[in-house]
Amino acid sequence: MRTKLTSIKSYSAALMVVALSFVDQSAADDRLKDMISPVSHPVTFEDPRHSTELRGIFAYHEIGDRFVTAGGDVQVYALQARFKVNEDLSVIATKDGYVVLQPDEVVPDDNGMADIALGMKYSFLKSDHNILTGGLRYEAPLGEEGVFQGQGDGAINPFASYGQAFEHFNFIAASGLRLALDSSDSSFWDLDLHFDMQFGSFYPLIEFNFIHVLDGGDRLPIADEGEDFFNFGAIDSGGKSLLTMATGARYRLSEAIDLGAAYQFPLTDGNGSNIIDWRVTTDLIIYIN
């Protein structure tokens, strides 16, 4: 009888372990779903999580007065797409769209299509509260030269992204290299940080974006590069860095729709930082699953 009772206890304990494993996995899914995507630098700052989604983006970028154009503005209208192949693998399309360029001097106003960046990302680590993902993108020079796209041979972009979900606080860090395949373009190192607090469906956020020019190009005789979206091939930009900060929020309209907005401004000045006076980025994410 005692042996039988012991067997029953052992069997019950085994069932408890199995049940808890399912509870933990569900908690992991829910915890990561409660995180939000970054808003600033959407072309390079990749969410480590996986989803099938469409993301409409509008960005208004005010050019600094000390830039070679003596000011002006840029508007970008874009649509990103991501397709979740499985829980650890996604196909991503993170750069495309239409660019409206309105500089004050030197360069004439123009508008046209942007380059196209496609790639994949894969998660190497996933627990009940964090996720580590690596990926690779290729930016194809298919845009129009009048808006500083469609030049050179494009670039490859290996990157990594890490997310940590706390009870009411989320953190995401991403870093990557944009390596030009043509000496006329510049190469970059990107580092992005995201912090947010959750208040129900409302997520106030702060983000920092750091861009360092590893190697300047040989196209334009200037010292300022094009931040996250443009590659001027600036000859004197090698070794220059730009640090920006963005403040904003994301609001979860429903389980399938997120709305985000952020105001971004430079924390550094001088050569390497003149491209930006300020920028507003807005997006609408529709999650398909």
Structural domain boundaries of the chain?
34-287
Average pLDDT, the chain: 91
Q: Is the pLDDT of residue 4 over 70?
A: no
Cα four-point dihedral sign 33, 92, 231, 281: negative
**Are the C-beta atoms of 249 and 261 separated by less than 8 Å?**
yes
Q: In this predicted model, what pLDDT tens digit does every residue of 161-215 receive, in sequence order?
A: 999 998 888 999 999 999 999 999 999 999 999 999 999 999 999 999 999 999 9
How many Cβ atoms sit within 10 Å of the Cβ of residue 142? 14
Q: Which pLDDT score is estimated for 289?
A: 72
Q: Which pLDDT score is estimated for 101?
A: 97
Q: Is the pLDDT of residue 9 over 90?
A: no
Q: Which pLDDT score is estimated for 13?
A: 43
Q: Which pLDDT score is estimated for 25?
A: 38
Q: Which pLDDT score is estimated for 2?
A: 41
21 versus 283: the higher-pLDDT residue is: 283
**Cα 17 from Cα 21, distance rounded (Å):** 6
Range scoring the smallest mean pLDDT among 54-58, 70-74, 167-171, 250-254: 167-171
Q: In this predicted model, what pLDDT tens digit does every residue of 76-115 receive, in sequence order?
A: 999 999 999 999 999 999 999 999 999 999 999 999 999 9
Q: DSSP per residue over the chain, as a string?
A: -HHHHHHHHHHHHHHHHHHHHHHHHHHHHHHHHT-----SSTTT---SS---EEEEEEEEEEPPTTSTT-SEEEEEEEEEEEEEEETTEEEEEEE--EEEEEESSSSPPEEEEPPEEEEEEEEEEE-SSEEEEEEEEEEE--S-GGGT-S-TT-EEEEEEEEEEE-SSEEEEEEEEEEEESSTTS-EEEEEEEEEEE-BTTEEEEEEEEEEEEEE--SSBS-S---TTT----BTT-TT-EEEEEEEEEEEEEETTEEEEEEEEEES--STTSTT-SEEEEEEEEEE--
Q: Which pLDDT score is estimated for 28?
A: 45
Per-residue confidence band for 243, with pLDDT thresholds at 50, 70 and 90: very high
Give me the mean pLDDT over the 27-35 stretch: 70
CATH architecture for residues 34-287: Beta Barrel (2.40)
